[in-house]
């Protein structure tokens, strides 16, 4: 599927917290005229990815929400080279459920290694028209 980018939201870097990230995402979604079911899914993904960057990777180093043809991309970069893990890997370490949630909501996720960490992108499709 070819993704045609629409105007993107301004990028936000260091020091970003969940509340501010959700506010940015709401603004992008409102400006793009996207409906409530998609907004809720996007906000859940934003919350999970930003809180995980705070908890596991010394915070967000870059953030953006981009409306594309047919979907919305949420991109969160951090300074850790460690990839997210799924629940129970290893069994004695708790957590991983946020990453599972992101992958259930998003139609596709990508982890892009960078020289200074990684970028996680989640692509959430627009609901089908009735």
pLDDT in tens, 38-62: 899 999 999 999 999 998 888 999 9
pLDDT value for 80 = 94
d(CA 12, CA 76): 10
CB atoms within 10 A of CB 38: 18
Rounded CA Rg of the chain = 14
C-alpha dist (Å) from residue 68 to 7, 25, 44, 48: 9, 14, 18, 21
Q: What percent of the chain has pLDDT over 70?
A: 80
Place of tokens 């993904």: 45
pLDDT value for 93 = 65
pLDDT in tens, 56-69: 888 999 999 999 98
pTM over 0.75: yes
Q: If you average pLDDT over every residue of the chain, what do you get?
A: 84
What residue ranges define each of the domains in the chain, with the CATH number in brackets?
A: 18-125 (3.30.565.10)
């Amino acid at each position: 599927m070819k993704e045609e980018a629409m105007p993107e939201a301004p990028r936000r870097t260091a020091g970003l917290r969940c509340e501010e990230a959700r506010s940015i995402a709401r603004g992008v979604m409102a400006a793009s005229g996207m409906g409530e079911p998609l907004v809720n899914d996007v906000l859940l993904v934003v919350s999970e990815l930003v809180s995980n960057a705070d908890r596991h990777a010394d915070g967000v180093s870059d953030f953006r929400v981009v409306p594309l043809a047919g979907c919305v991309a949420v991109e969160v970069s951090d300074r850790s080279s460690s990839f997210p893990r799924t629940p129970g890997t290893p069994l004695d370490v708790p957590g991983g459920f946020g990453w599972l949630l992101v992958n259930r909501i998003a139609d596709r996720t990508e982890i892009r290694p960078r020289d200074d960490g990684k970028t996680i992108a989640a692509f959430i499709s627009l609901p089908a028209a009735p």
